[in-house]
Amino acid sequence: GAGVSQSPSNKVTEKGKDVELRCDPISGHTALYWYRQSLGQGLEFLIYFQGNSAPDKSGLPSDRFSAERTGGSVSTLTIQRTQQEDSAVYLCASSLGQTSTDTQYFGPGTRLTVL
């Protein structure tokens, strides 16, 4: 597709369940980012993938959060044993990963609600 896509667009789950959020970046983009946007807040960086390098996980809030990127393309963000404070919009973005032209393009996000 032409842009970054994310699925599902909305997810409602019960406390304690695991969830998986998917991101399809723009074709050819080597960099992929996950952010969390809580109600009324800015963007909180979670994790960054660049090509085949080890991901920058410095933003993950706890060990219940993990992410992988298969084949340098699709990424999945997994939240285990969800808590109510995990409720937020999870945004994915991709970029070319080149300094001179690096600009992030965002997906529409997944709104996660933990009951």
* Residues near another protein, by CB under 8 A: 31, 33, 35, 41-43, 45, 48, 50, 53, 56, 89, 91, 93, 95, 97, 99, 102-109, 111
> What's the min distance (Å) between Cβ of 57 and another protein?
12
Distances (CA, A) of 7 to 21, 58, 68, 90, 98: 6, 24, 15, 10, 27
Q: Among all chains, which residue has been given the structure tokens 């529409």? A: 108
Beta strands in 2-41 (DSSP E): 5-7, 10-13, 19-24, 31-37
7 vs 50 by CB, closer to another protein: 50
30 vs 76 by CB, closer to another protein: 30
> What's the min distance (Å) between Cβ of 81 and another protein?
26
> What's the min distance (Å) between Cβ of 114 and another protein?
18
64 vs 105 by CB, closer to another protein: 105
Cα–Cα dist 81/103, whole Å: 34
Rounded to the nearest 5 percent, the helix, strand and coil shares of the chain are 10, 45, 45
Task: Evaluate whether 91 touches 106 at the Cβ level (below 8 Å).
Answer: yes
> What's the min distance (Å) between Cβ of 83 and another protein?
23
54 vs 63 by CB, closer to another protein: 54
